[in-house]
């Protein structure tokens, strides 16, 4: 990890560029930033092009671009579930989210919990949705910071400050401080504008990878031939088990259902200027899936290039494990200037989602905890100010996470976060269609889902989110989020029906049928 | 507005991807890329076409 001046210069210049853009963004599509929907949703003014960049920058995070190839590098074919996952998620966005946008627009809702509060008239259920969102997002932010950490280390920028037992990574702290400052001043407009730069860099990198790598490594045939045969395909399931097949399919489906429930996805969606924009964005989003699939193959390219056995990268692999596969491959195969560009793509690719995630959590805290429980009479300006400060606290939380705790904690919590956030599906997504659901039943289902899901992941000592269920004598390995969601749905729907049979109490629905567009 | 919109069911087509045994094999490969990998990537343009088709039908129906 020695210092490469050309690569570092390009990396720093691009970082400075996006910083300037981040502060400038406050003036873009100018609005009154002392209003929460202006700061936290960009005034709901983004057209199809900006929404596409924003959602792409938001949902295909730097961590994805490092972790998915790392999965293929380490585990092989089973890591490729990211591909069907991203094919499944966009039709859901297309179908469900225009309804969500319409009702939020009509009622001035800023978060999913706002919607739940209005639809079911239950502040407790809204609190459950808000807290789940915030808790699931925090480790996600931490993982973005790890993404930055990996590329900074790979560039050779190791300037650490030793404070007692703490090791503070100075370039990481600098990146974090800049990110915090422009998010505070510009709100969602900053990541929306920066996402454009990030995507240009990412697509440039993808193009370079698919052109340069096969030439350098002797074609795709050679690349796949260097992968151990046992890793190349999923292991066929043994007798009386669905084995890797059900695990793979449920991971794809569960991840697709979870993704749009994350607060940062909701923030991106609600910032669109119309429901038509959401539909058009959903049609064009798969372009990112293709980029992701091609980048995923970098895991195999790293095997073919043999980077893990080269002494130059030994320290990197020791520090970051398989996550170092992509940076090592880029260092190994690209000229310095391309290394600078592609590392900047990953680094800036971490800043965009980190900013949106902190804004989304801040919106949740401000709307559904602060204004609901602490200061019901707060003015719009106070609301916006609280959100700005909360965004700082959330990011600092993510930073402390990776400074104070071992990296594996963030990874485990992110795993659990996916299981937990899925449990808001009945209230948030089903709630868009079914007003007969009862808040107490939804709350019971949520609790049952969180409990079962956590228990299932705990059984693997928090190593894996795949749990094995016995169904009619067949072992069915299944993503815990999906299994827990089944329990959740059964409870929420069953109890709602029961309540509706025995109770004539009217629904407390503040929304009207025409709000849904 | 309450009319059942059957074409929306087209959005379920990508669920075909959940049938893993169908594509968990190496042959036929495409330019050296095993079936397992290119098949799943080929679904990306298919998904685009399906959603685009539904979008057009929605527009025609005046929604």
Residues of A in contact with B8 (CB under 8 A): 95
The answer to whether the Cβ–Cβ distance between B26 and A233 falls below 8 Å is: yes
Positive or negative: CA dihedral A429, A431, A437, A443: positive
The answer to whether the Cβ–Cβ distance between B55 and A279 falls below 8 Å is: yes
ipTM: 0.91
The answer to whether the Cβ–Cβ distance between A87 and B55 falls below 8 Å is: no
- The low-confidence residues of chain A, meaning pLDDT below 70, are 1-2, 163-166
Task: For residue A463, count CB atoms less than 10 angstroms from its CB and return exposed for 0-12, middle for 13-18, buried for 19 or more.
Answer: exposed
In the numeric block, which tokens belong to residue A165? 């037992």
Phi then psi for A160, rounded to 5 degrees? Answer: -105, 145
Q: Which residue of A has its CA nearest to B42?
A: A290
Q: Which residue of B has its CA nearest to A244?
A: B20
Q: How far apart are CA A440 and CA A121, in angstroms?
A: 11
Pick among A60, A80, A84 to test the B interface (most B CBs inside 10 A): A84
pLDDT of residue A33: 86
Q: How far apart are CA B26 and CA B15, in angstroms?
A: 21
At A437 the three-state DSSP class reads coil
In the numeric block, which tokens belong to residue A377? 């009479």
Say if CB B11 and CB B54 are below 8 A apart: yes
Say if CB A324 and CB A152 are below 8 A apart: no
Q: Which residue of A has its CA nearest to B33?
A: A220
Pick among B9, B11, B17, B26 to test the A interface (most A CBs inside 10 A): B17
The answer to whether the Cβ–Cβ distance between A91 and B44 falls below 8 Å is: no
Size of interface A-B (CB pairs under 8 A): 98
At A469 the three-state DSSP class reads strand
The answer to whether the Cβ–Cβ distance between B32 and A224 falls below 8 Å is: yes
Of A236, A283, A293, the CB nearest to B48: A283
Residues of A in contact with B25 (CB under 8 A): 233
Task: For residue A241, count CB atoms less than 10 angstroms from its CB and return exposed for 0-12, middle for 13-18, buried for 19 or more.
Answer: middle
Of A224, A234, A279, the CB nearest to B33: A224
pLDDT of residue B2: 45
Which among B27, B45, B14, B60 has a CA at the least distance from the CA of A290? B45
Residues of A in contact with B51 (CB under 8 A): 90-91, 94, 279, 282-283
Q: Is A210 on the interface with B (CB under 8 A)?
A: no
In the numeric block, which tokens belong to residue A388? 């700005």
Q: Which residue of B has its CA nearest to A277?
A: B55
pLDDT of residue A405: 78
Q: Which residue of A has its CA nearest to B52?
A: A283
Q: Is A290 on the interface with B (CB under 8 A)?
A: yes
Number of C-beta neighbours around residue A154 at 10 A: 24
Residues of A in contact with B54 (CB under 8 A): 94
pLDDT of residue A363: 95
Residues of B in contact with A88 (CB under 8 A): 14-15, 17
Helix H or strand E segment including A365: none
The answer to whether the Cβ–Cβ distance between A283 and B51 falls below 8 Å is: yes
The answer to whether the Cβ–Cβ distance between B20 and A248 falls below 8 Å is: yes
Which among A414, A418, A413 has a CA at the least distance from the CA of A482? A418
The answer to whether the Cβ–Cβ distance between A87 and B47 falls below 8 Å is: yes
Q: From first to last of the 63 residues of chain B, give the pLDDT tens digit.
A: 445 577 777 788 888 899 999 999 998 989 889 999 999 999 999 999 989 999 988 887 765
Could you tell me how far CA B33 lies from the centroid of its own chain?
20
The answer to whether the Cβ–Cβ distance between B47 and A286 falls below 8 Å is: yes
Which among A97, A468, A470 has a CA at the least distance from the CA of A281? A97
């Amino acid at each position: 990890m020695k210092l490469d001046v050309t690569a570092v210069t390009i990396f720093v210049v691009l970082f400075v560029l996006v910083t300037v853009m981040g502060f400038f963004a406050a003036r873009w599509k100018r609005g009154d930033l002392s209003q929460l929907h202006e700061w936290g949703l960009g005034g709901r003014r983004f057209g199809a092009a900006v929404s596409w960049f924003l959602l792409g920058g938001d949902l295909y995070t730097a961590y994805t671009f490092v972790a998915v190839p790392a999965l293929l590098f380490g585990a092989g074919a089973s890591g490729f579930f990211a591909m069907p996952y991203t094919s499944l998620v966009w039709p859901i966005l297309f179908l469900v989210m225009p309804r969500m946008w319409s009702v939020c627009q009509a009622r001035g809702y800023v978060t999913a919990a706002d919607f739940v509060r209005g639809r079911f008239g239950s502040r407790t259920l809204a609190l459950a949705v808000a807290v789940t969102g915030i808790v699931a997002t925090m480790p996600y932010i931490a993982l973005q910071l790890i993404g930055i950490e990996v590329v900074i280390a790979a560039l050779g920028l190791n300037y650490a400050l030793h404070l007692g037992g703490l090791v503070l990574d100075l370039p990481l702290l600098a990146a974090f401080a800049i990110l915090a400052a422009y998010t505070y001043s510009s709100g969602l407009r900053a990541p929306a504008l920066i996402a454009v730069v990030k995507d240009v860099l990412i697509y440039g990198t993808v193009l370079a990878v698919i052109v340069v790598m096969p030439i350098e490594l002797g074609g795709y045939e050679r690349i796949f031939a260097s992968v151990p045969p046992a890793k190349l395909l999923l292991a066929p399931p043994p007798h009386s088990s669905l084995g890797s097949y059900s695990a793979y399919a449920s991971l794809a489906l569960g991840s697709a259902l979870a993704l749009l429930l994350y607060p940062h996805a909701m923030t991106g969606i609600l910032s669109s200027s119309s429901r038509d924009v959401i539909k058009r964005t959903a049609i064009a989003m798969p372009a990112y899936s293709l980029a992701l699939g091609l980048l995923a193959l970098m895991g195999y390219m790293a095997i073919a290039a043999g980077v893990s056995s080269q002494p130059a990268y030994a320290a990197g692999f020791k520090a970051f494990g398989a996550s170092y596969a992509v940076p090592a491959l880029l260092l190994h195969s690209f000229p310095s200037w391309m290394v600078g560009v592609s590392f900047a793509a990953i680094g800036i690719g971490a800043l965009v989602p980190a900013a949106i995630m902190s804004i989304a959590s801040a919106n949740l805290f401000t709307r559904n905890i602060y204004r609901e429980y602490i200061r019901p009479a707060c003015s719009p300006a106070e609301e916006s100010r609280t959100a700005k400060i909360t965004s700082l606290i959330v990011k600092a939380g993510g930073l402390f996470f990776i400074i104070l705790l071992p990296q594996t904690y963030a990874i485990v919590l992110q795993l659990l976060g996916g299981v937990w956030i899925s449990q808001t599906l009945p209230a948030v997504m089903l709630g868009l269609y079914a007003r007969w659901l009862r808040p107490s039943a939804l709350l019971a289902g949520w609790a049952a889902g969180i409990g079962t899901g956590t228990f299932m992941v705990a059984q693997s000592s928090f190593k894996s989110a795949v749990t094995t269920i016995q169904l009619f004598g067949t072992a069915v390995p299944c993503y815990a989020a999906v299994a827990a969601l089944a329990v959740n749905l059964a409870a929420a729907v069953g109890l709602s029906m029961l309540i509706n049979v025995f109770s004539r109490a009217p629904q407390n629905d503040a929304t009207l049928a025409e709000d849904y567009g | 507005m309450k009319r059942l919109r059957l074409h929306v069911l087209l959005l379920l087509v990508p669920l075909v991807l959940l049938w893993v045994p169908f594509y968990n094999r190496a042959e036929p490969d495409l330019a050296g890329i095993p079936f397992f990998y290119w098949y799943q990537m080929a679904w990306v343009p298919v998904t685009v076409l399906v959603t685009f088709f539904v979008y057009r039908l929605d527009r025609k129906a005046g929604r």
